[in-house]
């Protein structure tokens, strides 16, 4: 996290880190340093982080499926051409198979 701040403040980046992002990262570092002292903060931080990560993965999965369906349609789904029945190939038991 500190490296992100340092890179963002570097003269070599095209867009420097904004003050809001800088402050959020510092708050995150402070929270991480207090996790052992405050069990309630530890639980909340982990639960919220897990929920945010799960939401991000869900959004990526939906995006992957939408892209796959678009490819199927573009390849001629149902016409005997293209990949009409293969599935997306990224997920075991994927429901993209049509």
Domain boundaries of the chain, sorted by first residue: 1-33, 39-98
Is residue 16 within 8 A of residue 30, CB to CB? The reply is: no
Is residue 79 within 8 A of residue 73, CB to CB? The reply is: no
- Left if phi > 0, otherwise alpha if psi is -120 to 50, otherwise beta: which for 82? left
Condensed to tens digits (0 to 9), the pLDDT of residues 50-86 reads 888 888 888 877 777 666 666 666 666 544 444 444 5
Q: What are the tokens at 82?
A: 């293209």
Is residue 74 within 8 A of residue 86, CB to CB? The reply is: no
Q: pTM here?
A: 0.45
Condensed to tens digits (0 to 9), the pLDDT of residues 3-45 reads 999 999 999 999 999 999 999 999 988 888 888 888 888 888 7
Residue 68, number of CB atoms within 10 A of its CB: 21
For residues 77 and 73, what is the distance between their CA atoms, to the nearest angstrom?
5
């Amino acid at each position: 996290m500190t490296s992100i701040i340092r890179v963002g403040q570097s003269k070599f980046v095209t867009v420097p880190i904004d003050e809001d992002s800088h402050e959020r990262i510092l708050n995150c570092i402070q929270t991480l340093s207090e996790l052992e002292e405050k069990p309630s903060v530890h639980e909340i931080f982990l639960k919220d982080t897990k929920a945010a990560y799960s939401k991000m993965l869900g959004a990526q999965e939906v995006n992957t499926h939408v892209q796959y369906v678009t490819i199927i349609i573009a390849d001629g789904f149902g016409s005997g051409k293209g990949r009409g029945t293969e599935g997306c190939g990224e997920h075991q038991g994927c429901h993209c198979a049509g």
